[in-house]
Amino acid sequence: MPEPRETAVYTHGHHESVLRSHTWRTAANSAAYLVPSLKPHMKILDIGCGPGTITADLAALVPDGRVTGVDRAPEILEQARATAAGRGLTNVDFAVADVHGLDYPDATFCVVHAHQVLQHVGDPVQALREMKRVVRPGGIVAVRDADYAAMTWYPEVRGLDAWLDLYRRVARANGGEPDAGRRLKAWAQRAGFTDITATSGTWTFATPEERAWWSGLWADRTLASAYADRARLGGHAGERELRAVAEAWREWGAREEGWFSVLHGEILGRKEA
């Protein structure tokens, strides 16, 4: 029987506007629900590590352990290696991997972590089964994903509702589930977890600097990233619609009263000892 492999297309790609967001992520702002469970000796697998900023933070938190960061895209791993090297970390390594069929023996890791991954995969339940397989008895699978339908903002700038509708359509056409956050607990149950701690966390963008950064990266992503290409090629939006969405983002970012919140679902699934 062939190993399960990824069937979904990664919606965002690795355009500069995407990496602008990914390199901002840290253990503090993206994995705070996991950090209290970490011990200095732990061996961690970080799935979908991207440019490696969270991976590097995790490695610093387990100085007597080791962190392996994996991603489907070989080119992004070079940036992840540079991130780790720039911080002088020697307990971290990186490899290409597909979460649907991990090339690691059973019970290899103390913790398996995935941030903003399951929303982009073709079979999130199979991915969680694999994560559970490679974690040790008593170990933790930690997953956090945004939930696009639960994102909320103020003021109601015309065009941002169109952005949300467009993004969700493109993501689903690519085989993903943009409203993954609310589904994590159910997916984990279907994957065989019985000990699940389900929580939620948010990112909030409200200061002038935060608004400029968040609105700017989404405006640029709407026009120039792989997401933009897939919106055009899939017939989801033409150039005029994309430019209108980008302009709506910039308009929102310029509003002094602007506020945007991203809700994330989070789970800690413990493997039976």
Q: What is the pLDDT of residues 76-117, one digit of tens each?
A: 999 999 999 999 999 999 999 999 999 999 999 999 999 999
What percent of the chain has pLDDT above 90? 88
Residue ranges of E strands in 99-154: 109-115, 135-146, 152-154
Residue identified by tokens 């190993």 is 3
What's the rounded Cα separation, in Å, for the pair 200 and 205? 17
> Nearest-CA neighbor of 187 among 254, 245, 114?
114
- pLDDT on residue 224: 86
Look at the alpha carbons of 152, 125, 73, 200 in this order and tell me if their dihedral is positive or negative: positive
pLDDT at site 1 = 36
Residue pair 233/239 in contact by the 8 Å Cβ criterion: no
Which amino acid is it at 76? I
Give residue-wise pLDDT tens across range 17-35: 556 768 899 999 999 999 9
Total Cβ atoms within 10 A of residue 47: 26
- Give the model's confidence band at 239: pLDDT under 50 very low, under 70 low, under 90 confident, else very high: very high
Radius of gyration in angstroms for the set of CA atoms belonging to the chain, rounded to a whole number:
18
* CB neighbourhood size of 15 (10 A): 18
Which tokens is 30 given?
A: 């993206």
Instruction: Mention every residue, 6+ apart, whose C-beta is less than 8 A from residue 23.
Output: 51, 53, 83
Two tokens, residue 75 = 């080119």
Q: Which tokens hold the place of 169?
A: 């359509």
Q: How far apart are CA 114 and CA 147, in angstroms?
A: 15
The two structure tokens encoding residue 112 = 């398996």
Rounded CA separation 9/122 (Å): 8
Q: Give the span between the Cα atoms of 58 and 80, in whole angstroms.
A: 13
Answer yes or no: is pLDDT of 5 > 90. Answer: no
Residue 227 confidence (pLDDT) above 90: no
The predicted pLDDT at position 17 comes to 57
Would you say the C-alpha torsion 4, 5, 11, 16 has a positive or negative sign? positive
Q: ω into residue 51 within 30 of 0, thus cis? A: no
Q: Is the pLDDT of residue 182 over 50?
A: yes
Instruction: Give 56-75 pLDDT, tens digit per residue.
Output: 999 999 999 999 999 998 99
Beta-carbon contacts of residue 91 (< 8 Å; ≥ 6 apart): 59, 62, 63, 65, 66, 67
State residue 2's pLDDT score.
40
